[in-house]
Structure 1
Amino acid sequence: MNPVKTKRDGAILEVTLDRPKANAIDLATSRVMGEVFRDFRDDPELRVAILTGGGEKFFCPGWDLKAAADGDAVDGDYGVGGFGGLQELRDMNKPVIAAVNGIACGGGLELMISADIIISADHASFALPEIRSGTIADAASVKLPKRIPYHVAMELLLTGRWFDAEEAKHWGLVNEIVPGDQLMDRAWEMARLLASGPPLVYASIKEVVRESEDAKFRDIMNQIQRRQLATIDTLYGSEDNLEGARAFAEKRDPVWKGK
Structure 2
Amino acid sequence: MSGTLSVSADKDTGVAVVTLDRPERLNAIDLAMARELADTWRGLRFDDEVRAVVLTGAGERAFSTGLDRDAVVPQPSSPYMQDDPLIAIGPKTNDLWKPVVAAVRGMACGGAFYLLGESDFVVADSTAAFFDPHTTYGMVSAYESLLMAQRMPYGEVARMVLMGNAERIGARRAHEIGLVSEVTEPGGALAAAVRCATVIAGHPPEAVQGTVRALWAAGEAARAQGYAQAPHLIALGNLPGERQAELFAGRGRQDFRTR
TM-score category, normalised to shorter length: 0.7 to 0.9
Contact 1:12 1:191 in 2 (8 A): yes
Alignment of 1:188-227 (within 5 A): 188-214=194-220
The CA RMSD over aligned residues, in Å, is 2.1
Measure how far apart 1:128 and its partner are: 0.9
Question: For the residues of structure 1 that align with 2:131 and 2:153, how far apart are their CA atoms?
Answer: 16
Aligned to 2:57: 53
Contact 1:109 1:127 in 2 (8 A): no
TM-score, length of structure 2 as denominator length: 0.75
Question: For the residues of structure 2 that align with 1:214 and 1:108, how far apart are their CA atoms?
Answer: 20
Q: Secondary structure at the match of 2:149?
A: helix
Aligned to 1:17: 20
Aligned to 1:89: 94
Kindly name which structure, 1 or 2, has the bigger radius of gyration based on alpha carbons: 1
Contact 1:15 1:52 in 2 (8 A): yes
Question: For the residues of structure 1 that align with 2:187 and 2:61, how far apart are their CA atoms?
Answer: 12
Aligned to 2:41: 37
1:190-228, CA deviations, whole angstroms, 9 ceiling, x for partnerless residues?
A: 11101101211111112222223256xxxxxxxxxxxxx
Structure 1, unpaired ranges of 5+ = 216-259
Letter in structure 1 aligned against 2:52: V
Question: For the residues of structure 1 that align with 2:38 and 2:220, how far apart are their CA atoms?
Answer: 25
Question: For the residues of structure 2 that align with 1:83 and 1:24, how far apart are their CA atoms?
Answer: 16
Question: For the residues of structure 2 that align with 1:96 and 1:211, how far apart are their CA atoms?
Answer: 16
Contact 1:12 1:47 in 2 (8 A): yes
> Which piece of structure 1 moves more, 92-101 or 39-48?
39-48
Aligned to 2:255: none
| Structure with the larger RCO, 1 or 2 (CA within 8 Å, 6+ apart) | 2
Measure how far apart 1:145 and its partner are: 2.1
Measure how far apart 1:66 and its partner are: 1.4
Are residues 1:175 and 2:166 paired?
A: no
Measure how far apart 1:180 and its partner are: 2.2
Aligned to 1:8: 9
Contact 1:12 1:46 in 2 (8 A): yes
Letter in structure 1 aligned against 2:195: E
Contact 2:126 2:184 in 1 (8 A): yes
Aligned to 1:166: 172
Contact 1:131 1:157 in 2 (8 A): yes
Contact 1:61 1:108 in 2 (8 A): yes
Contact 1:99 1:184 in 2 (8 A): yes
Q: Secondary structure at the match of 1:42?
A: coil
Question: For the residues of structure 1 that align with 2:193 and 2:213, how far apart are their CA atoms?
Answer: 23
Identical amino acids, percent of aligned pairs: 31
Measure how far apart 1:85 and its partner are: 4.0
Question: For the residues of structure 1 that align with 2:64 and 2:39, how far apart are their CA atoms?
Answer: 18
Structure 1 residues 111 and 85 mapped into 2: Cα distance closer, same or farther (>3 Å)? Answer: closer
Q: Secondary structure at the match of 1:104?
A: strand
Structure 1 residues 87 and 139 mapped into 2: Cα distance closer, same or farther (>3 Å)? Answer: farther
Question: For the residues of structure 1 that align with 2:187 and 2:17, how far apart are their CA atoms?
Answer: 17
Measure how far apart 1:102 and its partner are: 1.4
Alignment of 1:14-163 (within 5 A): 14-19=17-22, 20-67=24-71, 71-73=72-74, 75-76=82-83, 78=85, 82-86=87-91, 88-90=93-95, 92-160=96-164, 161-163=167-169
Structure 1 residues 21 and 214 mapped into 2: Cα distance closer, same or farther (>3 Å)? Answer: closer
